[in-house]
Amino acid sequence: MRLDAAQRRAILAHPAGWIASGFGSGFSPFASGTVGSAVALLPWLALCELSLPLYALVIVAAFAIGVWASQVVIGKLGIEDPGVVVWDEFVGQWITLTPLVIWPRGWIWVAVGFVVFRVFDVWKPWPASWADRNVKGGLGAMLDDVLAGVYGAIALGIAGAIAR
């Protein structure tokens, strides 16, 4: 669904709109989820330097902020999980890339993590598919991508272990 100028202004008039839209990346006219996942790699370059406990704390905080921000945007638009909300892709992508915080592997592994997350985000294996259908509001917008991120982290971790 394309948003009109008034809807875009309403979203960006509130700090939650900037967060939920991934600092505007969710306004991409095509594949906003993929664009959001790609833009999420920029802050990840700093996050990946954190210790694992601090990285996990940032993800938990980003999730909580995302639930709030997504709920604000959903309330403004009256649409469940609108395409402009891509903060869930940020958090899901960061979860998928967690193994790279433990064992840095270079850009090829970042690219693999990006693709793996996108596959699980689109595929939505259970319980992500259940969450996508049944959990509403800001929590629902975030939860299916978090679960896709967990699947992605497991797959990336297994691939890394096999490669070692």
Give the residue from 29, 39, 133 showing the smallest Cα distance to 86: 39
Mark residue 145 as left, alpha or beta (left: phi above 0; alpha: psi -120 to 50; beta: remaining).
alpha
Greater pLDDT, 78 or 99: 99
What's the predicted TM-score (pTM) here? Answer: 0.95
What's the pLDDT band for 92 if we cut at 50, 70, 90?
very high
Q: Each residue of 116-158: pLDDT tens digit?
A: 999 999 999 999 899 999 999 999 999 999 999 999 999 999 9
Predicted local confidence at residue 163, as pLDDT: 87
DSSP character string of 30-55: S-HHHHHHHHTHHHHHHHTTS-HHHH
